[in-house]
Amino acid sequence: MSAIIFGIAPTIVTLTFSGGNSGMNAAFLRSLIILPGIYTAVLIKKIPLKVSRAELKDLILCIGVGQGITSVLLSGSYDFIPVSVATPVHFVYPVAAAVLGRMLWREKLNKAKLLALALCAAGVVCFFEKDGAIAWQGIGMALISGFTFAFYLQYLGRSSLAEMPLLKLLFYTNLISCAVAGIVCAACRSITFSLTAGAWANMILASLMISVTGTVLLQFGTRIIGGLTSAICSTFEPIFSVLCGVIVLGESVSTIKLLGSVLILLSILCITL
């Protein structure tokens, strides 16, 4: 479900660009918008927000690097390349998760996962179609975001955050992500609140989808099935990104992209059957 939500949300974010928004500013606003509501829910549930030293370290590493920087890089890449290009590039993260898991935590890869990774990698490559000039700055941002997100998925289940109440973790995820995005936007002088009513409406919708529903489902799922399996399952996302591009933005879908979608679906079957 998180893959479906994360696949649809970028298209909604891009709809705000014509209303005065930008990719990096969207990363800042989407966490800022939802913070008051999450904080209110924490107060109602009477969940203590105090964290231990171990939790503070894990929040800085896992959320600051894995979520905050990922959000800024991926959303920022939308300013240079289309979502239909940025999302597949970002999806090097299942392969990156496998590499990081093997290098940092000596995670074993069985034959099913190796086959799934191969199919996933082949499927993602199918989304790379050269349509005119390539903005390598955007490609680079989306590519690095894949590695930082892979670190987030692998680190989350192994850290003290795995035992933190989901609502408390959601609050700190958005607080830290908002701070990271805000610092970057301030440095780039790209913070703006001058959006049209339509852009604000789409931004609020995207915030609810990404910063609440999608994030909670992903964090909950990662706790259960682990970082690598979660990363592979999340490769449904580019499929829904393409569908949204066709339905909402009127983009065309080539045969090679359809092949990529089939390969990604097969990679999911390898680890679920």
Q: pLDDT tens digits for 89-115? A: 787 777 788 778 888 888 777 887 788
Nearest to 34 by CA among 45, 26, 22, 44: 26
Whole-angstrom distance, CA of residue 236 vs CA of residue 2: 9
- Burial (CB count within 10 angstroms: exposed 0-12, middle 13-18, buried 19+), residue 96: buried
Close Cβ partners of 186 (under 8 Å, ≥ 6 residues apart): none
Tokens of 21: 């928004």
Whole-angstrom distance, CA of residue 237 vs CA of residue 256: 17
* pLDDT(70) > 80: yes
∠ CA 18-21-23, nearest 5°, is 110
Q: What is the CA radius of gyration of the chain?
A: 18
Q: What is the pLDDT of residue 106?
A: 81
Whole-angstrom distance, CA of residue 196 vs CA of residue 119: 42
Helix count (H) and strand count (E) of the chain? 14, 0
Tell me the C-alpha to C-alpha distance, in Å, between residue 265 and each of 55, 123, 127. Answer: 36, 9, 14
Encoded amino acid at 17, one letter: F
* pLDDT(222) > 90: no
Q: What is the pLDDT of residue 107?
A: 77
Grade residue 46 by pLDDT with cuts at 50, 70 and 90.
Answer: very high
* pLDDT(273) > 70: no
Q: What is the pLDDT of residue 241?
A: 75
Which residue reads 């996302």 in tokens?
A: 237
- Put residue 189 in one of left, alpha, beta given phi > 0 → left and psi -120 to 50 → alpha: left
Nearest to 169 by CA among 23, 73, 45: 45
* pLDDT(168) > 60: yes
∠ CA 5-259-81, nearest 5°, is 55
Which residue did the predictor score with more confidence, 21 or 113?
Answer: 21
3-state secondary structure of 114: helix
